[in-house]
Structure 1
């Protein structure tokens, strides 16, 4: 009881002093000391969460084992600017928020859709890409256009935890939705005949179309759920977020971002 009175007295005395300026409030320098940016430069290592199954964004080449894509390139550039070693931490759309909150990585860089729901748990950088939603079917599919998708007997598959999933749960009225997670893949479900159409974004749709002869892309007459893609950092670290935003501005202005987008066939959805 006496301790509670003491704490109450200290709090009552401290608040007026803060207001009067007798006791200094936390400064920008204090925030910097606590920032992940300082931790990264001190440790000499940048830990980047990436989903290694995302075509044109962060996809592991089965022949080399190397992760390729625009965010594979961007993460290397970020580590280079920081003059630190890059460490890739494998993550997924269904787990990246928990991974960030558990301090498994310093930043998520794999084309993460910036949504209001996710923004309640992580901080988003400035967007660098944006995409609508597309359907992918086999060349011999009976699905010919967008109107054929939301029909009884049609099974739609997408990635568990992606921004596409909650949109489809509200959008589809007749078709059945199946949300899968690794090691299963949307493409595998389609090829095995357990799904009729894959719902995904522009990067995956264009990459599959360019590399294989079996996919056919089905697009809506109007863009659906256009979503900005950004990087994610832990909440409450404005210093680190500011640095990431400055990095995005810098590579956009000096042409590196545009070059990476062109390299991976993503110029069409580059934020300008």
Structure 2
């Protein structure tokens, strides 16, 4: 088994152990967001509205589109609740959950050990590695061209890619982009030579812009499970969301919405 797959297996195993260990506590739990959502008839979902193919606000319609836009609607339907979208970001979703601004985060959040200290992750529904997107007419033609003197490599503030690239880059300059600015805009404006992203964004950018080219590393890097997040301490709610993910995997809805948004290749088993 190669290193990325070993890492994914280790993260998944750790999450599974934490879920199992918390089950006895759930038996004693009398208060849960599940009850609050079903009694109030409102489901508050944190989403980052600039995430291509996941939860991207279409400027023409004002509607959020992508796999998690679709699946948030499915979850609300299952709970017989009205869906309320709370705008968040990778840099603020933990604080938003802890401040009870939303009941769940649904926007392709990478399950990392560091984030797991602050929030509880569901089982994964997508898995992505690291990709680069650059201008096809530029000087970057392969992965080895990226970490070179003078190169500007853009990452999104608060993403799981940011700390990885801080350690990974030895010669290139790291450009950290804070919302509402986007990595894509930095690339268009020539303030970055390449952006580091995941499969969903790489697919969307290369689909929408004829000048964009996607580059994969020679060996998969940063293979990461994507999950939903809920606050710690609510095992009943976590169990229910895991059941929802199990259900959409079995009945085909996860595959259906993944393929609709061109994410079929990264659906988690």
TM-score, normalised with respect to structure 1: 0.89
Show the counterpart of 2:208. Answer: 211
The answer to whether the aligner puts 1:244 opposite 2:245 as a matched pair is: no
The answer to whether the aligner puts 1:167 opposite 2:150 as a matched pair is: no
Q: Provide, for residues 154-176 of structure 1, a one-character-per-residue CA deviation record: whole Å limited to 9, x for no partner.
A: 00001000000011011000001
Show the counterpart of 1:7. Answer: none
Give the Cα–Cα distance (whole angstroms) in 1 for the partners of residues 262 and 189 of structure 2.
Answer: 28
Show the counterpart of 2:58. Answer: 61
Give the Cα–Cα distance (whole angstroms) in 1 for the partners of residues 37 and 126 of structure 2.
Answer: 26
Alpha-carbon distance, 1:179 to partner: 1.0
Change (3 A) 1:144 1:65: same
Q: Provide, for residues 17-45 of structure 1, a one-character-per-residue CA deviation record: whole Å limited to 9, x for no partner.
A: xxxxxxxxx985651x3111111111110
Q: Provide, for residues 113-157 of structure 1, a one-character-per-residue CA deviation record: whole Å limited to 9, x for no partner.
A: 000000000000000001011111112110111000000100000
Q: Provide, for residues 199-239 of structure 1, a one-character-per-residue CA deviation record: whole Å limited to 9, x for no partner.
A: 00000001111122010111101000100000000001000
- The correspondence for 1:253, drawn from 247, 250, 255, is 250
The answer to whether the aligner puts 1:270 opposite 2:262 as a matched pair is: no
TM-score, normalised with respect to structure 2: 0.90
> What count of residue pairs does the alignment treat as equivalent?
246
Give the 5 Å matches for 1:1-272: 30-31=28-29, 33-272=30-269
SS at match of 1:178: strand
Alpha-carbon RMSD across the aligned residues, in angstroms, is 1.1
Give the Cα–Cα distance (whole angstroms) in 1 for the partners of residues 234 and 93 of structure 2.
Answer: 17
